Chain A
């Protein structure tokens, strides 16, 4: 039962251009959506989040958009930098059921110099 889906296993982008990572979810009860970044041999690190009552949150080069009617969110990185090359996980959490966070399978981003 994949409640959070990232359908693109990888994405390649030129340095300086925009990276758009997508995520779909099925559970309308999710309260918060988050993006985590993971480098090899390291644990995931929190990047940015958005409440289910918002449709956009921006932090520097990173913007997350939420479309509740489509149950879809996306992470925009602009401009992309080589150091952004990592695996990005979409995640969602619900206040019911013990605050469990559900992760997608991840999208590997390659930013070419």
Chain B
């Protein structure tokens, strides 16, 4: 069945560092891909999405490009802030409309 694999955390970076969180997927057909973020004590929020190959989703300085050839959707940000500390989830929505989430990557940004 469909699945999402993302790098395990925690990831600890200094403020203004470059961030990459890897995400790869397995799916039949052409799924839509998402990144969600969960701040402490809150539910998930959609960060960005891409619905077809080569699409780039972007929001709040974060970017991810839908790469069908490598079945990847890596999350990047050029300069992280302390306020970016959260758990990040990669997810896909396949033909049956179910959303499949990765296990999440906890990100700590040090001032």
Q: Please indicate whether A and B come from the same complex rather than being unrelated chains.
A: no
By a beta-carbon cutoff of 8 Å, the part of chain A in contact with chain B is none
By a beta-carbon cutoff of 8 Å, the part of chain B in contact with chain A is none
